Amino acid sequence: MVIDINVHHLPEDLFTNEEVLNGFLTTAPRGFGEIAYLGMTEGGQRQMILEKPKGYQNLNYVEGDYSLESKIAAMDNAGVDYAVMRVPVWQEWLRLDTCKIVNDNAADICKRSNGRIFSTACVPPWGGKENIYELERCIKELGCVGVQLACHYGQLYLDDEAFRPYLKVINDLNIPVVAHHTPLPVRWESLYEYTNLRRELGRVTDQATAVGREIFSDLFDELPNLKLIHTMYGGNWFAAQNLLMPHKPKKKEAMLRLNVNDADRIKSHVDNNIFFDMTHPASWGKDQIECAVKVCGADHLLFGSSFPVFYNWMADGVEFVKNTIEVSQEERDLMLYKNAIKMFNLPIAE
């Protein structure tokens, strides 16, 4: 079985419903350098483009890519049995009224998929009764299996106190959160000029920063049930985990330049609260993914493709995890479907 937990969702009428389109285009904060506009692909399809800074494209959403039919066709072609949807990146800015439209359409897609597609709740994370009501509606009425968040909002990462009221509700509901990357980290000025640095390293840097801030803060001390699933292996977290963990010196040092005393607390956060979405794993390479399995543990990795950014990412990713990386069958099964069923409490028989 294969479950893809990173399939992108946008309202199917995004390009034909003026209310929905304006809800997306007008929320990108132009005053902070986010430039959103409509354009055309070389093939004549309409697309929504996001630039930061002006003239440097970070995101392209193409008409037709986000329909139920497109999702099911890609899943059938790639050998994906089930999928969990999320809004790519845009949840950083969406207003509550637009989120309600997004959630309603997601619920409709799930219903029409005959049980193959599930959704996560898209809600502004600022607390407040109306936002909490929408979260509860998504979980209790629409059947959402988790919550989606951006890994930062403006200049604030999720460890900031501003998000605690909302995260406390999620903690009490004991439902998982997928923390999607944003195009660039808060401090992005040195990354934007070169396309691959902007479109790949920017996301990796943002995710790693988010994970690091979460585990070193008191977020999980206060909210121990909170489980965050970060995209792109948490920004290559497996490569930095041991480096960043506190290590007590064997001999007394004249000066302690690093935190060496919180090892047990930090390790418990990594073990119990942080998980990773294997965003298009074939792109990373065999050695890197085997390292991620060894360092993070297969029980902390969930398959994800980022469909439809590249159609091949889904099919290549399934083939890669099934046949290329050298791991045990139990590890393979955990990453491809068992972790997803357990974390999202999916009504799927193994």
Q: What is the 3-state secondary structure (H, E, C) of 163-204?
A: HHHHHHHHHHHCCCEEEECCCCCCCCCCCCCCHHHHHHHHHH
3-state SS track over 95-110: CHHHHHHHHHHHHHHH
For 76-103, how does the pLDDT look when each residue is reduced to its tens digit (9 = 90+)? 999 999 999 999 988 899 999 999 999 9
By three-state DSSP, how is residue 116 classified?
coil
Nearest to 176 by CA among 156, 157, 150, 148: 148
DSSP one-letter string for 196-261: HIIIIIHHHHHHHHHHHHHHHSSHHHH-TT--EEESHHHHHHHHHHHHHS----SS--SS--S--S
Give the predicted TM-score (pTM) of the model: 0.93
How far apart are the C-alpha atoms of 230 and 325, rounded to whole Å?
A: 21
- In 272-332, the DSSP E strands lie at 274-279, 301-304
Q: Which two tokens stand for residue 253?
A: 């040092």
How far apart are the C-alpha atoms of 183 and 203, rounded to whole Å?
A: 6
How far apart are the C-alpha atoms of 75 and 272, rounded to whole Å?
A: 31
CB proximity list for 190: less than 8 A, separation 6 or greater: none
Average pLDDT of the chain? 92
User: 251: burial class by Cβ within 10 Å (0-12, 13-18, 19+)?
Assistant: exposed
Counting every residue, how long is the chain? 350
Axis-axis angle for helices 164-173, 129-140 (nearest 10): 20
Beta bridge partners of 147: 121, 177
- For the chain, 350 residues long, give each residue's pLDDT as a single digit of tens: 999 999 999 999 999 999 999 999 999 998 888 999 999 999 999 999 999 989 999 889 999 899 999 999 999 999 999 999 999 988 899 999 999 999 999 999 999 999 999 999 999 999 899 999 999 999 999 999 999 999 999 899 999 999 999 999 999 999 999 999 888 777 777 777 778 778 777 888 888 899 999 999 999 999 999 999 999 999 999 998 888 888 777 777 777 676 777 888 989 999 999 999 999 999 999 999 999 999 999 999 999 999 999 889 999 999 999 999 999 999 999 999 999 999 999 999 87
Main-chain dihedrals φ then ψ at residue 14, nearest 5 degrees: -55, -40
Beta bridge partners of 37: 49
pLDDT (0 to 100) of residue 322? 97
How far apart are the C-alpha atoms of 12 and 102, rounded to whole Å?
A: 9
How far apart are the C-alpha atoms of 32 and 29, rounded to whole Å?
A: 6
Q: Decide if 266 contacts 215 (C-beta within 8 A).
A: yes
